[in-house]
Amino acid sequence: MKFISKNIESIISFLTENKRTVLAIFIVLIVVESQSKRLSSDFVIFSVLLLYGFFIKIFRIKSAFTFLLCLLLLVVMTIDYLSTGASISTEKVAVWLILFLGVGVIQQWRE
Amino acid sequence: MERIEFLQHKVLPLIIAMILFMIPFFWFKPGEMDLGGDSGRLYFYDPVSYFFTSTLYTVSPGSVGGPNLGYANIPFIFLLIVLKHIFTSPTILISGFYGVNLSLGFIFCYLIIRELTESKKNSFYAAIVGGLAYVFFPVLIDTWRHVLLAFNQVFLNPLIFYLLLKYFKTARISILFIVIIITFIFSSNFSALAAPSLFAFYPISILFLMLYTKLIIKRKIIVRHIMLALFLFLGIQAFHLILLISSIFSFGNTLNLTIFSDAGKYDRGLSYFSSIAPNIKASINLLGLPQMEPLNFFSNAFIVFPFIIIISFLFNKQKTILLTSFLFLIVLFFATANITSTWLSIYKWLFNVPGFSMFRNFFGQWMYTYMFFYSILFGQAFYVVLYALHYSKIKLKKLLTFLFISVPILILVINAIPLIKGDIVRKAIWQSGSIEGVLRIGPDYEQALSFVRSLPAEGRVLTLPLTDFGYQVIAGRNGGVYLGPSAISYLAGKKDFSGYNELLGYHDVIPNLIKNGEIGTFKRILGLINVKYVFYDADPIVYDQFPSFPYRHDRGLPKDQHQYKKFIDSLNLKRIKNINNKFFVYEIPNDYYLPQVSVAKRSLIFNKPIAEVQTPLSLITKDNRIVISIDKENLSNRVPVSGIKFDEMLTDLRGQSSFWNVIKSTNTSDYGFPYTSWKISSFVYPFIVIREKQVLLGHKEIDQKYIDRSIFFAEKRLAELEKWRDETFLLGNVKSIDLLNKSWQEPNLVSAMLFKKYNFWEISLLRYQRSIYDLIDKIEKVSESDSSFIVNKDRVKKAVSSHMEVVYRIIQNAQYLPENQKIYLLRLAINMFDSIANRLQFKMQSLENVTYNFELDAGNYEMLIDNKSIQNYNQSKIQAIINDKELSFDDFKHEEDWLTAQNISIKEKAQNTLKLLLPEARNLISETKWELVEKGNFATSSATLTIDDVFAEKFGLIRQIANWNKGAYYIVSFDYITYGKGFKFLLFNKKGEQNQSILADYLRSNKWKKYESVVASSNEADSAFIQIIRQQGSYILDKIEPPDQPTKIDIKNLSIIQVPDPKIIFRKVNTTNDQDKKIPQITFTRINPTKYELKVRNAFVPYTLVLVNQFDKNWRLVDLTQETDTIRAFFSRVVAGIAKTVVGVFEKENIRDDNPVLTYFNGDIKEIVSKDIFINEKTFETWGKKEIAKFKHFPVNGFANAWYIEPSDMGNKTDYSLIIEMSSQKLLYVGLFISIASAIFTLLLIVKFFRK
């Protein structure tokens, strides 16, 4: 038990130390996933949202960061929309945008 | 400065509102109107006529006279009458209402945003932009093309929201009273007709306002205010709510069925939702653009709006905007549906909730709410950004502020130019030849309408040309048209059939009779359904300019106005009006016409649907006063008919034939191609597998329903592969699906979930094969006891044949599979289908004689054989054996339509057997030869055919089928060998120049094989032919086939034989002679569409009284001389007495004795022509009086009401009076009283609070 909690602590401290890198990878992965032609699985979507919730907790992420992420997603959606119309990838980014907007609203309410 | 600010904040919004109000006045020239659509909006054209025909009664003014919900519009239409009196022009009325929607929509959104931002300095601009966004967002602009009665929600939603917001902020109860009065005036927006938009907007808005009050402004919600308001609201809306609640809980009512039946919840609700949900895009919604519409490049500019919203959160410090966002997101989820599979599944699950099916067209129904929340969110977001900009220290702040304000306004206004110019409302009608929906009604049509209104008899009208759904097309003077519900019903007050679908059970019969030129029967049916007049609009625009919608039914009706005219002339009807060779009115002769109320001369009970009405009509030719009671209709309406003595009983034996399974096997399946929501790899998927198994286990017997369901589930495996093929893995080492079947075990739930054991191509194919094998096993087992059931293998075979094509397509289109894997999968699939085909082989039953096993009541019967159904046989060789009694051809009497054998004695109610021995059936192919399609001159009777040239490969060989009959069944049979190559066998119906494939199958075999299948010819077929072509595959399919073999198919023993299906009727006559039957004479007066006064004379014997109006248990027959002995009835009489006194004060005697009288059937039926009376002293005369023949009220003639009245019901009197009334109308009177009282009370409360 002790071993597990020790490992978790070390993982958290590792993540905290590399906060920027971790978040950058996280965001890039979302954007890359949204651009794939395969439909997103709910398992992936909710796992990512849970992970983001976890990051909010450990990184003390502010709502402004979430809204910046939304802004980025909106830019990606705009590019997608202009180039491909309401294609699968545009829809996927739109769904990510809506979900992160929801997360941001809840975050800001709590702040 | 203050003066400038006043001008800005108060005057500018008003100026904008005024401009918006004026815009619609430039859309129409004087006299023009944009009428039409589902609600027709004829109330703008003639509100007075509309009010009296369409709102005051609970019986619909259209077609069969079903339930009417139009009474919910009473206050609104009354308001229109007042306004029409003031402004006189319908154009001004329409423009005014459009202006109100635009201006009030804007102004109240503006005020809401001002309130939510607490009227701070910069919020003025934000509120202007937010208000403009609400009325000019593209998605809202799009709705101007389909304006319905509930369209007033465009201004009502912001208006009521604003008033409620004011109330919650100030707690001034008088505001709530004003809201209640507004809901009364626009009650149509709070009725069942507007239920989806009502439930989409108000619950979520009230939630917002309560949360805002509690969490943001932290005020107390005064419960007693809310309760009082709710009480007054229910009171003021009572006139439609009472009826609505009563309808919801009345079994069999349309509303009850829509809400509670599986057909309502799933077939009309969920299926519709599932079909449109994939097309609704979240990205389009975020931009506020219309869904499923082509978008122009300018639409991209709307990306600015979500940008501003998201940027605002970076500067936001207010909770109001967060609360608005939260509610906005909830509405966005409902308006989009496609936000994660989980939400989609929850949404689908919600269709289990009774009433939720109203959201089947979810986007259209949530859209107004969505745009409202979008606009007020955008207004607040705009304010936040503007505020941040105002207090920032950036350079060019003023310029940036100017740009920030002007860019969204410019985008909105530029995009709204088509609306501002009126182009949106003037768009061409869908699928018409560029015909606008804006029209100026000409004097000719007004004259025609007035003539129809003045027609004396209450009979129905048949409006031609016949449309699809009860629409009528009217051409205007300006080249535009009206396309909407029939003006003859809604303005002239004559019930009319203007649409093919309105003919209910007759909807296929009538067009077929027209096509076949059976004019006599056609006229008899018109008479039977109470059609007295035919209204024909000969204007070429209304028919020839609409090549498809609303005339999509292709049932042999005339193709153009020229043919229509010829057809109407062929009816040989008396023309009673011709208006400028444009509008014609004809009259049906009284011999055919059955008045609205009549007494039947002949009553019969029939075991077939009313669609087979020709059978009883051809047997009873003397008089059209017949009632036909249908067994199934009585059952579905839960009407017991055991106490009713019918004159005749007709039993059609076709359902009991030994070939019934053969015939039934050709029925179309109820299931379409399956839609899959869950991936095979999903965690939920194993549960779906379990559910499917349970559904199949839930079937009590192995019948066609079970077979279709099993095929549907098997097909789901293929649909899953089609949808998720790019995410499905390949095992890659399977030799054949048969071999895999031996080793693969169905995984348990845990291993299926964890190891995703279903997610393989081969496993899906194997599961498909297993489903089909299980089904074949079941069919074989049932066939052990019922040998004819084996023919269902043919049904499965046809399904499998279409699946084969699907599988080949899926494999070939799998982009992620390399070619070798595609070949591997194709080989597996071909072998699998070969194995299935082997198991589907069966021997078709012999066609030599037909046996019928049937049960009948004991008695003496006539046996009739329809001449037409045995015309292909040598009739002199036909023999019949009934319960061992032999009948030869000579024992039958030969009449025009029937062969009749008398005195067939059925001794007791037991199983009877009829064996019909027919001569050997003709092979329809024996007289024709094979022909090569391209070479024309090539014809052969050779049994060996080699397709070795390019033409044959492309078009194949054909062979005509001689003596092909429509609506018949055939067995196709032959032996074939294809030497490993694939061929396709096709059978086409020919209808004129059109070919329709009715049978298609793949042929592939290395040894001689027997092919047998049953096929049904269509009802329109003139002839037929068969065709054999090379299988049209792809290069991959070609690679699998043996290269060294010739492309050759040998066929022998080809035969196509008609399945014997003679129409045999057993007729039991209880009352022999019509002349001896003394039916009473009646005189009826229509008081209004819900009440008829009836005088009966000489009622010595039991008789059947008929009211030709849609069957409804709420139609009652009341004897005014008898009182009901219940407490409720006593109170009803007391209330009726008071009501009579009150009405008597206001009413002068209006009963006239000089009303004209129409006479039918030598005076047996008299109709007193009278004007409708909505209310007078006699309105309440039936309250608390005795209903008679309640349990002998049953549906007849497809939709009408009938009562079987015995002398004892009326105390053995022979001359008496009765009232036929629709009891739901009483609820309308009660509801109206409560509503008017509540409205007066609310107005008094308003006065009282304002004085304070």
User: What is the DSSP secondary-structure string of B585-610?
Assistant: EEE--TTT---SEEE-SEEEEESS-G
| Contacts B294 to A, Cβ<8 Å | none
User: Is B77 within the bounds of a domain?
Assistant: no
B378 and B453 part of one domain: no
CB contact under 8 A, A64 and B314: yes
pLDDT, position B1149: 52
Neighbours of B100 (CB within 10 A): 17
| Contacts B329 to A, Cβ<8 Å | 98, 101-102, 105
Q: Which residue of B has its CA nearest to A43?
A: B682
CB contact under 8 A, B340 and A95: yes
Among A40, A81, A108, the residue with its CB nearest the CB of B313 is A108
Size of interface A-B (CB pairs under 8 A): 87
Distance CA B870, CA B863 (A): 15
Q: Point out the residues of chain B with pLDDT beneath 50.
A: 936-939, 941-943, 949-951
For an interface test with A, give the residue of B303, B313, B332, B378 to mutate (most A CBs within 10 A): B313
> Which three-class secondary structure state does DSSP give residue B268?
helix
Contacts of B874 (CB under 8 A, 6+ apart): B919
Contacts of B1119 (CB under 8 A, 6+ apart): B1185, B1186, B1187, B1188, B1210, B1216, B1218
B966 and B1050 part of one domain: yes
B783 and B745 part of one domain: yes
User: Is B6 within the bounds of a domain?
Assistant: no
B952 and B1053 part of one domain: yes
Tokens of B173: 């109860």
Sign of the four-CA dihedral B877, B882, B884, B887: negative
The DSSP call for residue B960 is E
Tokens of B399: 């310029």
Global ipTM? 0.94
Distance CA B1112, CA B58 (A): 12
Beta carbons of B1006 and B1045 less than 8 angstroms apart: no
B195 and B218 part of one domain: yes
B291 and B342 part of one domain: yes
Distance CA B985, CA B1031 (A): 9
B1087 and B1225 part of one domain: yes
User: Is B1057 within the bounds of a domain?
Assistant: yes
CB contact under 8 A, A102 and B329: yes
Number of domains in chain B: 6
B743 and B788 part of one domain: yes
**Over the stretch B947-957, which tens digit does the pLDDT of each residue have?**
554 445 556 78
The DSSP call for residue B76 is H
> Which three-class secondary structure state does DSSP give residue B746?
coil
User: What is the DSSP secondary-structure string of B403-452?
Assistant: HHHHHHHHHHHHHTHHHHHTTTTTPBPTTSSS-BS-B---HHHHHHHHHH
The shortest C-alpha distance from A95 to chain B (Å) reads: 6
Print the domain residue range for B985.
Answer: 930-1064
Closest CA to B181 of B1231, B1235, B1249: B1235
Alpha-helical regions (H) of B137-189: 138-142, 153-170, 173-185
* Parallel/antiparallel/unpaired status of strands B957-961 and B930-932: antiparallel
Distance CA B332, CA B327 (A): 9
User: Is B79 within the bounds of a domain?
Assistant: no
Indicate the burial class of B378 (C-beta count within 10 angstroms; 0-12, 13-18, 19 or more).
buried
What residues in chain B have their Cβ under 8 A from chain A's Cβ atoms? 281-284, 286-287, 295, 300, 303, 306-307, 310-311, 313-314, 316, 319, 322, 325-326, 329, 332-333, 338-342, 679, 681-683, 726-727
B243 and B191 part of one domain: yes
Residues within 8 A of B (CB atoms), A 45-104 only? 45-46, 63-64, 67-68, 70-71, 74, 77-78, 80-82, 85-86, 90-91, 93-95, 97-99, 101-102, 104
Beta carbons of A80 and A87 less than 8 angstroms apart: yes
For an interface test with A, give the residue of B216, B283, B319, B347 to mutate (most A CBs within 10 A): B283
Look at residues B792, B813, B839 and tell me which one is the last residue of a structural domain: B839
User: Is B433 within the bounds of a domain?
Assistant: no
Asked if A1 reaches chain B (Cβ–Cβ under 8 Å), the answer is: no
More confident residue, A4 or B412: B412
B695 and B811 part of one domain: yes
| Contacts A91 to B, Cβ<8 Å | 281-283, 338
User: Is B1153 within the bounds of a domain?
Assistant: yes
B221 and B281 part of one domain: yes
pLDDT, position B1035: 63
The DSSP call for residue A40 is P
B118 and B266 part of one domain: yes
User: Is B116 within the bounds of a domain?
Assistant: yes
Distance CA B740, CA B1040 (A): 21
Strands of B965-1063 (E only): list them: 969-977, 983-991, 994-1003, 1009-1016, 1023-1030, 1048-1058
Q: How many residues does chain A have?
A: 111
pLDDT, position B939: 45
Beta carbons of B425 and B145 less than 8 angstroms apart: yes
Sign of the four-CA dihedral B160, B165, B170, B173: positive
Distance CA B771, CA B780 (A): 14
* Parallel/antiparallel/unpaired status of strands B602-606 and B626-630: parallel
Among A38, A46, A67, the residue with its CB nearest the CB of B726 is A38
Q: What are phi and psi of B247, to 5 degrees?
A: -65, -40
Beta carbons of B38 and B364 less than 8 angstroms apart: no
Distance CA B1100, CA B1091 (A): 25
User: Is B369 within the bounds of a domain?
Assistant: yes
| Contacts B283 to A, Cβ<8 Å | 77, 80-81, 86, 90-91, 93-94
Among A40, A67, A86, the residue with its CB nearest the CB of B314 is A67
CB contact under 8 A, B329 and A104: no
